[in-house]
Amino acid sequence: MATVEKPIRDIEEATVRFCGDSGDGMQLAGTQLTNTSALLGNDVATLPDFPAEIRAPRGTLAGVSGFQIHFASHDIYTPGDTVDALVAMNPAALATNLSDLAPGGTLIVNEDEFEDRQIKQAGYLTNPLSDGSLDGYQLFRVPMTRLTRLAVAEQNLGVKESDRCRNFFAMGLVFWLYDRPLDPTLRYINDKFSKRPEIAEANRRALRAGVNYGETVDAFTSHYRVRRAKLAPGTYRNIMGNEALATGLIAASKLSNCELFLGSYPITPASDILHELSKFKHYGVRTFQAEDEIAAVTSAIGAAFGGSMSVTSSSGPGIALKQEAIGLAVMTELPLIVINVQRGGPSTGLPTKTEQADLGQAIFGRNGECPLPVIAARSPADCFEVAIEAWRLATRYMTPVMLLSDGFIANGSEPWRLPNVADLPTISVEHPGALNEGDTFRPYARDERLARPWALPGTPGLMHRIGGLEKQDITGNVCYDAENHQHMVHLRARKVANIANDIPEQTVDGPASGDLLVVSWGGTYGACATAAHHAQTEGQAVAHCHLRYLNPLPRNLGEILSRYRRVLVPELNRGQLRMILRAEYLVNAVGLNKIKGKPFVVGEVTRKINELLKGETNGATNGDGFVPTPTQSPVSLREGLQGD
Amino acid sequence: MATEISLPVLSPNDFASDQEVRWCPGCGDYSILAQMKKVLPTLGVPPERTVFVSGIGCSSRFPYYMNTYGIHSIHGRAPAVATGLKASRPDLSVWVITGDGDALSIGGNHLMHAIRRNLDINIILFNNQIYGLTKGQYSPTSPLGKVTKSTPLGAIDNPIYPLSVAIGCEATFVARSTDTNIKHLSMVLKRAAEHRGTSFVEVYQNCLVFNDGAFDYATERDQKVEHTVELEHGKPLIFGKNRDRGIRLNGMNPEVVELGRGISEDDLLFHDERLPEPSLAYLLSRMRYPEFPEAIGVFRDVDRPRYEELLNDQIAEARKAKGDGELAKLFSAGETWTVEA
């Protein structure tokens, strides 16, 4: 059959999702499409979504793993509200993901897997491919299993191994559909399977078979092109949140000339920070996989006493275990970074899903009056800068710093413009030297920022003892005196509050005053920024204010809040920042609160903005402000039950 | 003549802090503190390179009384604090001071893992078989039936034996001493300090207020010779006022025998603290009063690589293989692309 060049159409952006069983290699397919698109010069944003089980039973709804990628020829901040092209490898994947596909969207299914047993397992009464229920989409029924087996037949692999190449077939087809080059994926195959040439060849053939299928089969009448985005000039790489965080920590260690010590215990979704840092021993990085969360943080405190740049990384449940020790770090006034990659809670909650419900834990989570600085990353690449900033604050103020990320940021990725090393700030860290004969060392004396000296063991004459018992001001001796305790509680609080003078004033995007201010923090940045931007292009007086610093809050925030008629605080929790803003500034802030283990889509924020502008909502209520969509299917309810 | 570098001669006072010691009068901790201050000047490590790390409890106030660096941390976690410190600062001499509740109850997990990692630290466990600072509840080493504030009808949990735990974790140095036998105690502390690897020392310590006399059998002048046997490397296990009794192995089990009447010293169990296999040390740790004399001295002293050395060797080797890490290289790892102005 002679192939005719099919027409190619330019589009500005596309959102694609691969979904299948957790063993189907969907995360790999998504990652390859991401890297390829990034290398093409598109702006990209991703949303991996996988179950808590490593391998849930095949074909079940609980076992579906997905990866969504949004790529565009302009700046984007979210992985996309609705999916333009959905690749579903089996009926369960179709059932759990179809609701996100745009009306009329491209739906590619592996029709070989739509046999009775799997269809029933996915909760369908009839075969969705033939019962007309998919009429609203452009359905492409592709016999992927059979075609992949044929493509790799010469490699003489077993059925299981042949079928494992199906994700490369799916990738090939999507690469054809969006006119993506194969080179990056071919390079990946060469690297990854260098020791198993027959598997490498099978994957190459499956990939090409997918491309050829798109090119030759009549059903596909045209394909698309998304041109490179006009990003700021520079060299870029695609980076995931946890990777950026690890990179930022190493940078902070070099910039401050302190060797990095990470005490950590594996926990989803923070483990990759431990994995990543453990690769960089030649950067002087010591990683210690502790016996538990408490040992992770206390070992870091021990290393901090010795002069290391100390870090402990975890997620919500682990942070809960660390809190007593974080109190010790507050009392002993040692620099320490505590990373919380938040996930759905409470308790074990939704380990692989995202949430922002640990802000309260970060700010108030310890016993006693125990303030510490809290800062949050807003996107994968932003983790790099936030890590450096955390260490700057920790050392300048001799305090533990809580750094908040979340599952969405940690596993998501975006292009990162490589910083010029010379442009990075140096972090000057000083340790007092030996004393003159006759002088007394005062471990709890303070500098102008109220920070105490970081005296290191090994320095003659500076021997001192620290601990969790209340300290006498200046001498650091154990002291139960009532006046001293009140004084020290205020002193520690003032020290942290002073940080407000050392951080940039808060800025807003959009009009300096107006009808509505959207206030966000953490991983909801992209959805809020995009929604506010849309409102502005429609001529609405809506501005967006995104907080990196959550404790202390920026010194001009109260004044900013007062310049807008309404304040909206979208959060993936029941309103934790909103409560703080209301308490701190007596502002009548309204919430948009979603607690589904998923990030906001732009449309959700937009709807709330419009609702508030029309005055439909009474801001005085403290309800969740988030109504489950009436179209919510039993499937998405069931989805909320997985994970342990 | 070669130039002589004169090292300052240190005395116990050089290791004493200016803080008032606040243990109850007559507490066994005073004696341990005194022996520690005597031993430290003999080690050749100056106060500024010595760090005491403790948890919570009466014993854990110890660092405040030493003119060294110190951390009085949180309950049970001292071994983990010490691990982070020693792993990142191998140049420091690190001591962990802990008690039976701190080390074996709330901190059992950390104790186990510190011991198996074998960092070069010294863990001194003050065992008084009671919670002192919380005023007299039973501890994990209290005997069955022990009547305390929280066990008015007697303790029903089986006690844990610190040395058996340490040996189970394959500790490379395990020893026991008592607060009143000050010569023996300072010998054991010195041996612990000299051992390279985690040294675990249990000290029988009297709590005058809440558990007075718990170890009388092992510490009182007239009783201790009958109820303890002092371990000496290469020597048979002999005890008793007249040194006329010994420990013999009967199959896998120790038994008390009387010397003479056909039993000679050669028939007795000879102590070997350097056996790579920890079974003998474990067997000795299971000899308990009143069935047996309890062993004091060094149970085990063997060599195994230390965690901090392995960790820092990996760093040195990575630097040798890959060069000292540069930020620019780190940033541009993987595939990059350039956007022109």
List beta partners, residue A11. A226
Spatial CA neighbour of A337 closest among A410, A241, A245: A245
User: A315-361: per-residue pLDDT in tens?
Assistant: 999 999 999 999 999 999 999 999 999 999 999 999 999 999 999 99
User: B303-338: per-residue pLDDT in tens?
Assistant: 999 999 999 999 999 999 999 999 999 999 988 999
Spatial CA neighbour of B110 closest among A265, A295, A299: A295
pLDDT at A377: 98
CB-nearest partner of A35 from B19, B335, B341 = B335
Cβ-Cβ contacts under 8 Å for B32 (sequence gap 6 or more): B62, B124, B126, B179, B185, B203, B205
pLDDT band at A617 (very low <50, low <70, confident <90, very high): low
Ordered alpha helix ranges (H), A81-125: 91-97, 116-121
Q: What is the dihedral of CA A607, A612, A615, A620, to 10 degrees?
A: 130
Residue A377 corresponds to which tokens in the numbers above? Answer: 């990353």
Above 70 in pLDDT, residue A626?
A: no
Interhelix angle A183-192/A197-216, nearest 10 degrees: 160
CB atoms within 10 A of CB A402: 25
pLDDT band at B8 (very low <50, low <70, confident <90, very high): confident
Indicate yes or no: CB of A457 within 8 angstroms of CB of B89.
Answer: yes
Indicate yes or no: CB of A291 within 8 angstroms of CB of B112.
Answer: yes
DSSP structural state of residue A348: T
- Chain-centroid distance of CA A429 in Å reads 30
Q: What is the dihedral of CA A130, A131, A136, A142, to 10 degrees?
A: -20
Above 80 in pLDDT, residue A381?
A: yes
Residues 62-101 of B with CB under 8 A from A: 63-64, 66-74, 77, 80-89, 91-92
Indicate yes or no: CB of B314 within 8 angstroms of CB of A325.
Answer: no
Cβ-Cβ contacts under 8 Å for A448 (sequence gap 6 or more): none
Q: How far apart are CA A285 and CA A283, in angstroms?
A: 5
Residue A445 touches partner B, C-beta closer than 8 Å: no
Cβ-Cβ contacts under 8 Å for A599 (sequence gap 6 or more): A47, A78, A79, A354, A408, A523, A524, A526, A527, A572
Residue B315 touches partner A, C-beta closer than 8 Å: yes
Cα angle vertex A232, ends A227, A236, to 5°? Answer: 80
Residue A308 touches partner B, C-beta closer than 8 Å: yes
User: A516-571: per-residue pLDDT in tens?
Assistant: 999 999 999 999 999 999 999 999 999 999 999 999 999 999 999 999 999 999 99
Q: How far apart are CA A459 and CA B92, in angstroms?
A: 11
User: A409-464: per-residue pLDDT in tens?
Assistant: 999 999 999 999 999 999 999 999 998 888 899 999 999 999 999 999 999 999 99
DSSP structural state of residue B260: B
Chain B residues with CB under 8 Å of A466 CB are: 70-72
Q: List % helix, strand, coil for chain A (3-state, nearest 5).
A: 40, 20, 40
Residue B28 corresponds to which tokens in the numbers above? Answer: 């066994």
Q: How far apart are CA A570 and CA B41, in angstroms?
A: 63
ipTM: 0.97
Q: Which residue of chain B comes nearest to A312, CA vs CA?
A: B84
Chain A residues with CB under 8 Å of B331 CB are: 237, 247, 418-419, 421
Above 50 in pLDDT, residue A639?
A: no
Indicate yes or no: CB of A302 within 8 angstroms of CB of B69.
Answer: no
CB-nearest partner of A261 from B19, B84, B113 = B84
Chain B residues with CB under 8 Å of A284 CB are: 315, 319, 324-325
Chain B closest CA to A261's CA: distance in Å? 7
Q: Pairing state of beta strands A64-72 and A13-21?
A: antiparallel
A67, A221 in Cβ contact below 8 A? no
Angstrom distances, CA of residue A233 to CA of A227, A229, A419, B44: 16, 11, 12, 60
- What is the overall mean pLDDT for chain A? 94
Residue that is written with structure tokens 């700030």 in the block: A425
Q: What is the mean pLDDT of residues B22-36?
A: 96
Residue A436 C-beta-side C-alpha neighbours within 13 Å: 1
CB-nearest partner of B84 from A232, A259, A299 = A299
Phi and psi torsions of A10, nearest 5°: -80, 130
CB-nearest partner of A259 from B66, B88, B337 = B88
Above 60 in pLDDT, residue B7?
A: yes
Chain B closest CA to A273's CA: distance in Å? 15
* Sheet bearing A286-289, strands edge to edge: A286-289, A260-264, A309-314, A336-342, A400-406, A374-376, A549-551
User: B238-290: per-residue pLDDT in tens?
Assistant: 999 999 999 999 999 999 999 998 999 999 999 999 999 999 999 999 999 99
Above 60 in pLDDT, residue A90?
A: yes
Q: Which residue of chain A comes nearest to B321, CA vs CA?
A: A282
Chain A residues with CB under 8 Å of B321 CB are: 282
CB-nearest partner of B332 from A237, A280, A292 = A237
Residue that is written with structure tokens 């675990």 in the block: B200
